Amino acid sequence: MMSRTKSEQLFATALRYIPGGVNSPVRAFLAVGGQPFFVDKAKGARIWDVDGNEYVDYVGTWGPAILGHAHPRIIKAVQSAAANGTSFGIPNPFEVTMARLICSLVPSVQKVRMCNSGTESTMSAIRLARGFTKRDKIIKFDGCYHGHADSLLVKAGSGALSFGHPDSAGVPAAFTEHTIVLPFNEPAAVTAAFKANPGRIAGIIIEPVPGNAGLYLPKPGYLEFLREIAKSNDALLIFDEVMTGFRLARGGAQERFGITPDLTCFGKVIGGGLPVGAFGGRAEIMDCLAPLGPVYQAGTLSGNPIAMAAGIAALEELAATDAYAKLEQLGQALESGLKHAASAAGIPVQFNRCGSMFCAYFSGEPVHNLADAMKSDRERFKRYFHGMLNQGFYLAPSQFEAGFLSTAHTETDIEKTVQAVRKVLRQLG
Ligand SMILES: *Cc1c(COP(=O)(O)O)cnc(C)c1O
């Protein structure tokens, strides 16, 4: 067993001063039991905790670390930007470079506004869709996470067409009454919602490849169907690519699946590890934003020079290298290794993968949506998680989170991971 004494001491102090000891709930390890470790440093595909334990990292700060941790190009960009001042609150050249870069990599984006988190990007995109269409209702899907803005913290009601319910205390029901929550991968539910709300739906917001309830993929034709039904109802299709953007391809999930959304939300990879979000889309829609148009949106630190420099370095590095081919190869190796390990151990596992995102559900049935995901064996996952952690492999501390590969992972890392999985699954038996 690894010693985690220093982490335990830090957590005890953290619990006294920070609610739950953490600044974002999943970090508390509630879904797997035990306590989080505290990170001392990270480099490439590895992190070291304050007790000196080393882990191969498959969380990658929940997606941003696609080039591995402390990538030299990003560190250099951050250092040189910081030397010139940390924030100006008036335009800086990095903002222009970043906007041009995003528009060139993601053709559906003609104009883009930077903000500071994924939550801000989806919240603002929803407001913009409502302002542009002059309609109130939004369709979202059960199991898709779009950050913690009030109107998006909604879970499905009892019937498919009923209003969603707040998914958090402190969100008035009135704030969610315009959010229609539907099951993912079921076209008929969307058709029925449009029929029941003629001329009232501003848009559909979706994670094109949902990665916040584990990972599952859109069925063939599903995204095309959503594109078409939004268009024929004069509603906007909003792709929340906070997780998939610049990860599933240079141009995100929309490039991979060949779909053109009206608006796209970004975060995670786009900041190179700093707090950044962005949303963009067709110019006629984006021009409804203040100061040009009536939809208000703002941010004191938006377009921050250090954050822009880090994000630009990450996107340029990704665009200049064969990163996506490498990520695909690593993903394939991990997928075949884990599938073999699971069948050798006789444990039912659904291994879902899209490029460098993956999830192993402990379930005997295919997972296409949240209801399927909920059938997985969470007790088994807990033991698997801790087994892997004690072998030096850090997976997301919940059955309902995706894993992430980076270009810093190697074939050898994957082989060692698969060996550890074999051992841990055999012990689970
Ligand atoms: C992480 C995430 C968000 C929220 O981003 P934050 O930066 O955590 O606010 C929104 N949408 C998706 C799809 C995400 O994965």
Q: What is the pLDDT of residues 198-230, one digit of tens each?
A: 999 999 999 999 999 999 999 999 999 999 999
Torsion angle defined by CA atoms of residues 302, 308, 311 and 313, in that order, rounded to the nearest 10 degrees: 180
Taking residues 240-263, report their average pLDDT. Answer: 98
Strands 350-354 and 179-182: unpaired
Q: Which of 111, 137, 140, 268 is catalytic?
A: 268
145 is catalytic: yes
Which pLDDT tens digit goes with each residue over 254-279? 999 999 999 999 999 999 999 999 99
HSE at residue 348, side-chain half, CA atoms within 13 A, is 9
Q: Where residue 246 falls among pLDDT bands split at 50, 70, 90?
A: very high
pTM for this model (two decimals): 0.97
Which of the four pLDDT bands, split at 50, 70 and 90, describes residue 385? Answer: very high
166 pLDDT more than 90: no
Mean pLDDT of 133-137: 98
Closest CA to 284 of 125, 111, 413: 111
Place of tokens 């801790």: 386
372: Cβ below 6 Å to ligand 1?
Answer: no
216 classed as catalytic: no
Looking at every residue in the chain, the average pLDDT score rounds to: 96
Ligand 1 neighbour 212 (Cβ under 6 A): yes
Q: For residue 158, is pLDDT > 70?
A: no
Specify the pLDDT at position 155: 85
Contacts of 255 (CB under 8 A, 6+ apart): 106, 248, 249
Q: Which of 61, 268, 276, 357 to mutate to test the pocket of ligand 1 (most atoms within 8 A of CB)?
A: 268
Residue located via tokens 């500071």: 116
Q: What is the percent of the chain where pLDDT is above 70?
A: 98
Distance, CA 147 to ligand 1 centroid (Å)?
Answer: 5
| CB of 146 closer than 6 angstroms to any ligand 1 atom | yes
How many angstroms separate the CA atoms of 254 and 106, rounded? 8
What's the CA-to-centroid distance between 1 and ligand 1, angstroms?
34
Which of these is catalytic: 58, 145, 216, 384?
145
Which class for 232: exposed (0-12), middle (13-18), buried (19 or more C-beta within 10 A)? exposed
CA 429 – CA 424 distance, rounded (Å): 9
Say if CB 62 and CB 69 are below 8 A apart.
no
Which residue bears the tokens 């010693």? 3
Give pLDDT, residue 164: 73
With a 6 Å cutoff on the Cβ, whether 4 touches ligand 1 is: no
| Confidence at 159, pLDDT banded by 50, 70, 90 | low
How confident is residue 163, by pLDDT bands cut at 50, 70 and 90? low
Domains of the chain (ranges plus CATH)? 5-70+322-428 (3.90.1150.10), 72-320 (3.40.640.10)
Please report the pLDDT score of residue 62 as a whole number: 97
CB contact at 8 A, 10 and 50: yes
Minimum mean pLDDT among 74-78, 127-131, 151-155: which range? 151-155
> How does DSSP classify residue 397?
S
For 99-133, write each residue's pLDDT tens digit: 999 999 999 999 999 999 999 999 999 999 999 99
**How much is the average pLDDT of 223-240?**
98
* Short-list 24, 184, 48, CA closest to 118: 24
Whether the CB-CB separation of 119 and 147 falls below 8 Å is answered with yes
pLDDT of the residue at 157? 66
pLDDT for the residue 167: 87
DSSP SS3 for 138: strand
Dig out the tokens for 394 from the structure: 């850090």
Q: Can you list the alpha helix ranges (DSSP code H) found in 23-117?
A: 72-82, 93-105
Question: How far is it, in rounded angstroms, from Cα 48 to Cα 81?
Answer: 27
Distance CA(419)–CA(429), nearest Å, equals: 15
Q: How many CA atoms lie within 13 A of 186 on its CB side?
A: 18
Rounded to an integer, the average pLDDT of 49-78 is: 98
Q: Is 267 in the pocket of ligand 1 (CB under 6 A)?
A: yes
The Cα 129–Cα 230 span in angstroms is 12
Check pocket membership of 141 for ligand 1, CB cut-off 6 A.
Answer: no
